[in-house]
């Protein structure tokens, strides 16, 4: 795929994307020269990664998403009246820099134009003082009108516009705060939603009930396809369909909004506020992610919390910590921060690359990770009330929502470190492994944050038109847990065997596995194969052979691998895309685990990694290879391009990883 200077895609389809990436590479020869090149690349990468470690022991790369984060930050400041010239100018500089030549904004590098992102970016730039007559603004508004205008945007975009009277609250789906009273067994109770959706929906029920409107500083007629009639009438789906049922339910809720008993509504909003406040983290944020924090601040402000209230002050201060100030003066907002995830992956990479297990950097990282273990219950305990805590979260501060994926990978990282306080390390690992096992869903697999979060109803709500709102089990998370349990000597544990059976049943007919949290089938396959072989499946197993054949069939001509985010939406893109360092590494991790070290596919992949490396030991990767929601919300983890190639190079040079000496008491019940 060829990317234009503004980030738009020059290729016409997935096959055109398979030949090359954004970097010209020098490919070393196979044989002895290849090993020398791999050793040199590994040494440089180790040095680079060690140089990025924080003094406290953690690693953290930037987490890039799209300009809606930055636009909504400016809209929030406008709504609260806390805007300042420096922040506005810096945010506008970043937003302008992400605009493409046709006037649009995408949600990932090289991706298609996105209507909602373009509308939000346009409005933010108008708040920053850009004129609708400016050429870049005129191009954007012209494109928006051609796509149906504001009426065609997603619900969350129209919620932001409704806050300023640019859209009617009556024309938005209803979210009644009385939902907070639904018992845990009742359909559409708040625990039926995934934790990220739950944290957003509860404050939005208050916003939906209050329907605030702040005076708009300007009109947005230029964004309506028909300024006189911005909201065409909606045709209901048949009553016999789920969509039809939920559309009519929403109509009934709109009628209820007009007659809701005031005392009941006030009580519901107060209960929702208590729920929000109880989940505020010590750093003032909510769940360690930006969107729930934004909506929680708005909701509490609407209930009378002034901006100097300690809860509000801490919340606003936490939002500032999502900002990344760049050297050119631009300000980018991270949707969340990933220090625990980055640190465990960096530890694994360095250990597998041959760093001594008692190296000070690894010991310091282990110390920091052990200190981040969560030892109090959170929302996950609603479904697992008898389970003792012991997980890890993704972020610096997120005690309410440890996640299963991070916990598995942290344990895999800790097990590679020779820590001077072995008893402390073992105790942390044992707590974490027990918690992970306890979070297994009924079908034998694991989701990311909750067990059995599989209700079919939340996704049907008209309000939920963007991204996943439930947290069903996925192959990548399940694979990481299975791999961890195998490391802990529990390959024959009933929970592990059920996880393996689920993974085998989930394999696609082409031999790949779907990737929920990384793009996409390359990530899923790169996660599952190492887990299955670690758990004892032989390389000759039919499932392993099918996965090898698939990976070989989608290898790019340059020797690497890539997969475009459009593979979530279009089967033609499966396994196809510009070569990236992280996706090449994922494919190599699977092939190496399958015993393919001497294969031509592995040699070509290692050669690409060695040849594409920069002189400072890093790799370039503009393409997004992570996901928040498949297709809808994409992530570029800036450390992925460093940790995964180093892990693959290390395993190529040193073989598959093995845990340090098994200590008595840790692996009982295997």
- Fold classification of 15-61+338-452+474-654 (topology level): Glycosyltransferase (1.50.10)
pLDDT at 470: 94
405 is catalytic: yes
Of 352, 367, 405, 564, catalytic: 405
Query: Per-residue pLDDT tens for 275-301?
Result: 999 999 999 999 999 989 999 999 999
Q: Which two tokens stand for residue 233?
A: 């009438």
Q: Which of 167-171, 392-396, 663-667 has the lowest mean pLDDT?
A: 663-667
Mean pLDDT of 559-565: 98
CA distance 352 to 655: 8
Q: Does domain 64-333 have CATH number 1.50.10.20?
A: yes
This prediction has a pTM of 0.92
pLDDT at 668: 41
Mean pLDDT of 68-91: 96
Q: E strand or H helix at 458, and its extent?
A: none
Contacts 24+ apart (CB under 8 A), 274-280: 275/180, 275/190, 275/202, 276/202, 276/203, 276/300, 277/311, 279/199, 279/379, 279/400, 280/311, 280/314, 280/315
pLDDT at 14: 59
pLDDT at 483: 98
Mean pLDDT of 80-91: 96
Mean pLDDT of 187-203: 94
3 state DSSP class of 628 = strand
Is the pLDDT at 31 greater than 70, yes or no? no
CA distance 358 to 43: 18
Q: Which of 251-255, 269-273, 428-432 has the lowest mean pLDDT?
A: 251-255
Is the pLDDT at 505 greater than 90, yes or no? yes
Is the pLDDT at 17 greater than 80, yes or no? no
Is the pLDDT at 233 greater than 60, yes or no? no
Helices (H) and strands (E) in the chain, counts: 22, 5
pLDDT at 299: 97
Q: How confident is the model at residue 667 (pLDDT cuts 50, 70, 90)?
A: very low
Q: What does R_g of the chain's alpha carbons equal in angstroms?
A: 25
Mean pLDDT of 416-422: 95
Determine contact, residues 632/466, Cβ cutoff 8 Å.
yes
| Residue ranges matching CATH 1.50.10.20 in the chain | 15-61+338-452+474-654, 64-333
Query: Per-residue pLDDT tens for 368-390?
Result: 999 999 999 999 999 999 999 99
Q: How confident is the model at residue 230 (pLDDT cuts 50, 70, 90)?
A: very low
pLDDT at 13: 55
């Amino acid at each position: 795929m060829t990317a234009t200077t503004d980030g738009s895609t020059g290729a016409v389809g997935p096959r055109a994307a398979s030949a090359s990436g954004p970097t010209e590479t020098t490919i070393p020869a196979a044989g002895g020269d290849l090993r020398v090149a791999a050793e040199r690349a590994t040494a440089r990468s180790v040095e680079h990664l060690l140089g990025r470690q924080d003094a406290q022991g953690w690693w953290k790369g930037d987490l890039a998403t799209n300009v809606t984060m930055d636009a909504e930050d400016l809209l929030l400041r406008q709504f609260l009246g806390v805007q300042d010239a420096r922040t506005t100018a810096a945010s506008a500089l970043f937003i302008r820099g992400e605009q493409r030549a046709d006037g649009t904004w995408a949600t990932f590098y090289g991706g298609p134009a996105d209507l909602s992102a373009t509308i939000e970016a346009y409005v933010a730039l108008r708040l920053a003082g850009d004129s609708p007559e400016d050429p870049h603004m005129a191009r954007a508004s012209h494109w928006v009108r051609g796509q149906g205008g504001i009426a065609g945007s997603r619900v969350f975009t129209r919620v932001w516009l409704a806050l300023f009277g640019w859209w009617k609250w009556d024309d938005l789906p209803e979210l009644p705060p009385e939902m907070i009273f639904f018992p845990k067994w009742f359909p559409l109770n708040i625990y039926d939603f995934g934790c990220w959706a739950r944290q957003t929906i509860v404050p939005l029920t208050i916003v939906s009930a209050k329907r605030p409107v702040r005076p708009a500083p300007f009109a947005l007629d230029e964004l309506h396809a028909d300024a006189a009639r911005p909201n065409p009438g909606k045709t209901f789906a048949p009553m016999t369909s789920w969509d039809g049922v939920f559309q009519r339910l929403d109509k009934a809720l709109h009628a209820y909004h007009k007659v809701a008993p005031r005392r009941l509504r006030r009580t519901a909003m107060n209960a929702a506020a208590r729920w929000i406040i109880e989940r505020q983290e010590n750093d003032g944020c909510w769940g360690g992610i930006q969107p729930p924090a934004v909506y929680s601040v708005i909701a509490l402000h609407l209930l009378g919390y002034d901006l100097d209230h300690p809860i509000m002050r801490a919340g606003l201060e936490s939002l500032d910590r999502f900002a990344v100030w760049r050297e050119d003066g631009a300000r980018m907002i991270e949707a969340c921060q990933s220090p625990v995830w980055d640190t465990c992956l960096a530890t694994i990479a360095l250990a597998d690359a041959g760093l001594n297990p008692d190296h000070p950097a690894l010991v310091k990282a282990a110390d920091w990770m052990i200190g981040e273990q969560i030892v109090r219950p959170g929302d996950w305990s609603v479904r697992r009330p008898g389970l003792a805590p012991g997980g890890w979260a993704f972020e610096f501060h997120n005690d309410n929502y440890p996640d299963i994926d991070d916990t598995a990978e942290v344990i895999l990282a800790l097990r590679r470190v020779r820590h001077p306080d072995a008893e402390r390390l073992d105790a942390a690992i044992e707590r974490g492994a027990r918690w992970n096992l306890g979070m297994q869903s009924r079908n034998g697999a694991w989701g990311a944050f909750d067990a059995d979060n599989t209700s079919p109803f939340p996704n049907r709500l008209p309000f939920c038109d963007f991204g996943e709102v439930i947290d069903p089990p996925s192959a990548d998370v399940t694979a990481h847990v299975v791999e961890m349990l195998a490391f802990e000597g529990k390959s024959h544990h009933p929970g592990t065997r059920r996880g393996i059976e689920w993974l085998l049943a989930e394999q696609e007919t082409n031999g790949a596995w779907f990737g929920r949290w990384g793009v996409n089938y390359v990530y899923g396959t790169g996660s599952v194969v190492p887990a299955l072989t670690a758990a004892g499946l032989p390389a000759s197993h039919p499932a392993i052979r099918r996965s090898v054949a698939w990976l070989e069939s989608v290898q790019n001509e340059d020797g690497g691998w890539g997969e475009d985010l459009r593979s979530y939406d279009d089967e033609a893109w499966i396994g196809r895309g510009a070569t990236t360092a992280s996706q090449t590494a994922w494919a190599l991790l699977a092939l190496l685990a399958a015993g393919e070290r001497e294969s031509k596919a592995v040699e070509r992949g290692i050669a690409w990694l060695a040849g594409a490396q920069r002189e400072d030991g890093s790799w370039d990767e503009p393409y997004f290879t992570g996901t928040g929601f498949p297709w809808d919300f994409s992530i570029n983890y800036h450390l992925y391009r460093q940790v995964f190639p180093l892990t693959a190079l290390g395993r190529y040079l040193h073989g598959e990883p093995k845990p340090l000496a098994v200590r008595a008491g840790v692996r009982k019940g295997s």
